Each structure stands twice: as C-alpha cells, then as structure tokens.
Structure 1
Amino acid sequence: MSSNWWKIALSAASAALSPAPRAGAADRPSLACFPTAETRQLIVDRRLADPFATMQAASAAAHGEPIGAKLCRADEELVYEISLLRRDGRVVRIYVDAATGKPHPGR
C-alpha cells in the first residue's frame, strides 16, 4: 500500500471524528485528538513512530483490517488510536504509544 493510502485514511478518520476531548472509562485518561495538519506536523517535529508501520503492526497483532488512525493526547502522552475491523465484523480500537510504537500501557 502506498503512503497516499495512509494520508487518505488519516484524513477520513480525522474528518469523521471531532478533535474535542472525549471521556473514556473512569480508569482511562481522556483523549484529545489532533486535526490532520497538526498530526502531520507533530509526527515530523517530535519524530514519532511511523503511523503506517504502527497501523500495520497493530493489524497483524489483532488480526484485523486497518480502517483508521488518529494521533491523540492522553494526559501528557501522545498515542495513536488505531481502528481495526475484525473478521467477525467488530471494530476494535488499539492504543499505541506514538513515540515508541509499542502498546500504550493502561489502554
């Protein structure tokens, strides 16, 4: 898949969901997701993990088709929220530390 696919997926995910913080479960920090332009700039400025590679790794680990990703702030950390479509039709979300590309603790 080309890098254009990632740009389209990221744009669609960002456009579909509001950048405003949303409340999670009581034990989870709330997320504030960034718009596409700010996401691109943060990835470059902070040398974050490659979002496409991160999505592919999450897809392989969870046995799902990647359908979107967003860069979000969870308290003071940056995380990717990756949406995957599983074979059973469920959409699952996986949270990955944007700096390291590893699963985000507490998610």
Structure 2
Amino acid sequence: MLGLCLAFACLATETSQAQARPRNDDQCLGQGEVRELVSQKAVLPPDVVLRKARATVGPGAKVLRALLCRRDGQYVYRLTLLRRDGRVIHQVVNARAPRPDAPR
C-alpha cells in the first residue's frame, strides 16, 4: 500500500502544469493534505480508487495522473489513465469514504 501511495504522490507532483490544470473551480490538494484526509477516513485511499479505476477502464491500464481535488464542496479524484489500445481516459471519481453506518 505504501508503494501505491508513493506512486500516487509522484504522479501528483510530476505532471506538467498543462496536464495538471484543474477545472477553474477545482482546488487540488497537496500530498500532506491527502495523507491527512486519508488518515481521518474522510476520503478513500488513492490505491483503492486507482484499483477500481483500472478495473473499469480495462486490464493493463496505466495511471498517468491522479489528483485529489475539492470540487463544489466535495472531494473527488481526477484521474487520467492510458488504456492498452492507446486511448487516454479521464475520470472523476467520488473520493468520499463510505461511513460505517451508511447502507451499501
């Protein structure tokens, strides 16, 4: 899990400004803020989100970028993935961790 968190951190910091440009009203967070929110269980850990995203995009998909942002008062992961066929897929995934008392 630590390896995936480090990979997420590298992806979040090594993107160019043009690639990482968020929507005008997005407020993307730094590594420390992401770690704090994950430790408070306010958001899902990056490895969980990335695993689910890869499963929906297809086997062998590579994560090019992953950012945790605040959009319209909610936390979302902004993901860019590369499919095996060369297509780039952009996803916005709800980052909120389910509450233990919430129905599934």
TM-score normalised by the chain length of structure 2: 0.72
Q: How does 1:1-107 map to 2 (within 5 A)?
A: 3-17=1-15, 22-23=22-23, 30-63=25-58, 64-100=61-97
Contact 1:49–1:99, Cα closer than 8 Å, also in 2: yes
| Structure 1 CA distance for aligned equivalents of residues 75 and 53 of structure 2 | 16
Structure 2: unaligned runs, 5 residues or longer = 99-104
Percent identity, aligned pairs only?
Answer: 28
Count of residues paired in the alignment: 93
- Deviation, 1:95, is 1.0
Q: 1:23 to 1:53 in 2, by over 3 A?
A: closer
Q: 1:23 to 1:47 in 2, by over 3 A?
A: closer
Counterpart of 1:50, as a letter, is P
Computing the radius of gyration over CA atoms, which structure comes out larger, 1 or 2? 2
Q: 1:21 to 1:31 in 2, by over 3 A?
A: farther
Structure 1: unaligned runs, 5 residues or longer = 25-29, 102-107
TM-score normalised by the chain length of structure 1: 0.70
Q: Any idea what SS the aligned residue of 1:89 has?
A: coil
Counterpart of 1:22, as a letter, is P
- Deviation, 1:21, is 6.8
Q: Residues 45-82 of structure 1: CA distance to partner in whole angstroms, max 9, x if unpaired?
A: 24322321221111111112334422111120000112
Q: Any idea what SS the aligned residue of 2:3 has?
A: helix
| RMSD of equivalent CA atoms | 2.4
